[in-house]
Amino acid sequence: MDAVQLLTRMVEIKSVSENEREVAEYLVEYMSENGLEAHIDDAGNAVGIKSGKITAEEQVEDLVLLGHMDTVPGDIPVRQEGDLLFGRGSVDAKGPLATFVAATIQAQIAENRRVIVVGAVEEEISTSKGAHYAKDQYSPVACVIGEPSNWDAITLGYKGQFLVKYRLEQEVGHTAGANSAVGEKAVIWWQKIQEHCESFNEERNKLFDQLLPTLRHIQTSSDGLTEVAEVIVGIRLPLDVDIPQLKNTVCNFDEHAEIDCYSHEEAYKSDKNNGLVRAFLKSIRQQNARPRFKTKTGTSDMNSVGPKWQCPIVAYGPGDSTLDHTPNEHISISEYLRAIEVLKSVLEDSGTLQQKKCK
């Protein structure tokens, strides 16, 4: 089976978060048949390992390619139209994960290097179960996160985030009365968050450096005696925000409500002066392109493993990230094949990815 068939089959297998077993079994079988040592780990991740010639065990460099198998919900008929493959997960992020698998199979891995491909579970939900498990299993010298960056670009950083649940309950009052309804109070609380973020963002021109709030859910209900407002807000975080102070501020905007800040992930940005980045730049230039650097306003498994591993880390993969989670999600087959060639050259590059192992 060629690389296009691999990706097509992966996209055909539905794998909404917490339901990744079928695609994990398929990947393990595929990797095993193509020369990798493969298994499903205790978290449900699909893992495949391939080594170059080992001349000295103490000199072995582990390179982790950490992608994810799960997708958001949404049934998009899988089909190929010309150069484009449509289907849920084609961009986010089965395209990048298939790139990892195909490149590792095709590559002559550099001497004293071990490549560990991980197809993680639950990246699309707040648990990030697969990445949190993987971060305690490996101590790599470098890591590549499987997320769409376009084939000629690498991503150096992702914003952080936390989610906030707001719940306000009070006795029902007459609409002509002096007391505001719970819905009005919830809206005022949300507006205060927006105002705070706007103030923080003054003179910060880059989205990566700003606080970015989103209203994810709001509803009111009543049983005739009491009324309830429930809200969920997400706030995307820059590198330099004081998170405890921000949480305290958000909670104090309405002292009468129950407010819970949860699912906290700090922003993370990697340095670009290292062997991993140089290998990618060299490989992209060999494909007659000018490499680009990106930072993203979303989050990824980089936020989960980067702080623990403290090693060179980038995100890479084919695909246009603006198509993530959309009804029109699709990936260019030709771009996917070029990404495989880029990553294959990185895996074969004999240069040291880092002089010392990660923490």
Q: For 219-229, how does the pLDDT look when each residue is reduced to its tens digit (9 = 90+)?
A: 999 999 999 99
pLDDT at 353 (0 to 100): 83
CATH of the domain at 199: 3.30.70.360
pLDDT at 27 (0 to 100): 98
Last-in-domain residue among 248, 265, 282: 265
- Same domain for 246 and 99, yes or no, is no
- Same domain for 92 and 7, yes or no, is yes
pLDDT at 356 (0 to 100): 44
What domain range is 255 assigned to?
160-265
Residue 268: both structure tokens together: 């993370």
- Of 123, 152, 335, 341, the active-site residue reads 123
Active site residue 152: no
Backbone dihedral angles phi then psi of residue 150, each to the nearest 5 degrees: 75, 150
Q: Tell me what the pLDDT averaged over the chain comes to.
A: 95
| H helix intervals, 34-93 | none
What mean pLDDT do residues 303-323 have? Answer: 97
Active site residue 123: yes
Question: Residue 359 falls within a domain, yes or no?
Answer: no
- Same domain for 166 and 258, yes or no, is yes
- Same domain for 191 and 340, yes or no, is no
- Same domain for 275 and 238, yes or no, is no
- Of 20, 70, 324, 341, the active-site residue reads 70
Last-in-domain residue among 265, 291, 324: 265
| Number of domains the chain contains | 2
DSSP 84-148: EEESTTTTTTHHHHHHHHHHHHHS-PPTTEEEEEEEES-TTSTT-HHHHHHTTT---SEEEEE--
* Residue 105: count of CB within 10 angstroms of its CB: 20
Evaluate if pTM is beyond 0.85.
Answer: yes
Q: For 125-165, how does the pLDDT look when each residue is reduced to its tens digit (9 = 90+)?
A: 989 999 999 999 999 999 999 999 999 999 999 999 999 99
pLDDT at 74 (0 to 100): 97
- Same domain for 260 and 291, yes or no, is no
Last-in-domain residue among 265, 289, 320: 265
